[in-house]
Homo-oligomer: A and B are copies of this chain.
Amino acid sequence: MNPQADAPRLPLPPGLADLKGKPVAAIDTPALVIDLDAMQRNLARMAEFARKHSVRLRPHAKMHKSAALARLQMQAGAVGVCVQKTAEAEAMATGGVTDIYISNEVIDRAKLRRVAALAGQLNAAGGRLAIAVDSMEGISRLAAAMNENDGSSQSVSPRVSGEPSLLANLASVDKKPARIDVFIEIDVGQGRCGLPPGPAAVTLARAIEGHAGLRFAGLQAYHGRAQHLRSVEERREAIARAADEVQRTRALIEAAGITVPLVTGAGTGTFALETASGSWGELQAGSYLFMDADYMGNAHDPAQPAFEHALFVKSQVISVNAAHAVCDAGHKSHAIDSGLPRVHSLPGQPSLTYANGGDEHGILHPAASGGTLPALGDTVWLIPGHCDPTVNLHEHLIGVRGGLEHGTVERIIRVDARGALT
């Protein structure tokens, strides 16, 4: 079993539990802070988009890693969540999410036993688990794990004194073999996992159909590289090509007499394009909830709702000299894979740029010549370059209501799947 999912959940540490109801000023730095008002506007805008366009929304929980936020998204209409890792799926299930899609390949046999066990648990709770595959080997290993799980579940049915008990009989009558939904991943431009679009997918679809515990659920087609193409035109061209590949592959599978129930994919940079193409039935966008500096760098597509920054690092100035100020947030507080954070100046605060100061520090300069520096002890708000790996650095998100300037801490949101790597 997964260590993270096995670990007992701790109560909130006293320092954090005491924060509720306190002003923003009471939040120790550095800390990851959610502007709950902005987050809820983002939540509502995305839910409205999905409703209006009759497309399913399955947000990627690899972004927030929080079962509480996953439940919030489902209350707003999402059908479930995606995750990338088995351990993330386990953390979501532990947190009460019962419709989970591991939109990634799992090959390790021990890990596939965990996948099969989780499928059984979610089925028993009236929910479902789905997973992606891109190889015959992946399908046979998954099928073997599902079979083994059904077998091993039966072998632990309670028996008394060597005789079959009524309970054991009932258990075997009630027990349905667990089932898992399987998506075939095709590479529509990401250049990572996935089969080349075309006939190879037909062979895999047939193989999936040949296993009792597996259900062919459709195609996984996510164009990650298209998400941060800066112009709308570039993104439109990339998704148009991807849509052609999806349609071509879908037609080949259907020509072989196999229904393709769903095509799932899309991210925060492009989901209006996938939706407009008619080729996708489910959107996996996740970053829309928090946004980040990288996504905000995209030219806005008027077909998409405009999302706001809801995720901030609160930091403090700990050193000032003639040339610059230094804050207490470095890349142990925020991920820099997609660029350095931007400084978010509140009214009355100086405009600043952030330069890399290493693991624990950020170097602040005035944004314009002649601009002023903050003073020792001042608060500096940062907008992370990339939300997903930033959240993964923190145990908790501190939810603030009423804005960063005068707001109050309303809730502490646990990052349930932090470090859930396996």
Contact = CB atoms under 8 A, between A and B. Distances in A.
Nearest to A396: B3
Nearest to A110: B28
Contact of A13 (B7, B135, B359): B7
Interface stretch (A38-46, A99-107, A275-283): A99-107
Contact of A422 (B8, B30, B376): B30
Interface in A1-17: 1-4, 6-8, 10, 13-16
A401 to B, nearest CB: 21
Contact of A62 (B10, B110, B360): B360
Given A3-B13, A15-B1, A105 B318 contact: yes
A359 B62 contact: yes
Contacts of A62: 359-360
A316 interface: yes
Contacts of A207: none
Chain A interface size, under 10 / 10 to 19 / 20 to 34 / 35 or more:
35 or more
Interface stretch (A166-174, A243-251, A325-333): A325-333
Contacts of A29: 108, 422
Interface in A99-138: 104-108, 110-111, 134-135, 137-138
Contacts of A360: 62, 84-85, 104
Interface string A375-398: 011000000000011001111100
Given A3-B13, A191-B363, A394-B419, 20 more contacts: A2-B28, A3-B395, A4-B395, A6-B14, A6-B15, A8-B10, A30-B422, A31-B421, A31-B422, A62-B360, A85-B360, A107-B318, A107-B377, A135-B320, A193-B319, A195-B321, A329-B421, A332-B388, A332-B392, A394-B421
Contact of A108 (B134, B316, B356): B316
B13 A6 contact: yes
Residue picked from A318, A320, A396, most chain B C-beta under 10 Å: A318
A2 B19 CA distance: 12
Contacts of A4: 13, 395
A395 B326 CA distance: 28
B337 A107 contact: no
Contacts of A7: 10, 13
A198 interface: no
Contact of A359 (B10, B84, B193, B394): B84
A58 interface: no
Contact of A361 (B3, B192, B320, B359): B192
Contacts of A28: 2, 108, 110-111, 422
Nearest to A320: B135
Nearest to A313: B421
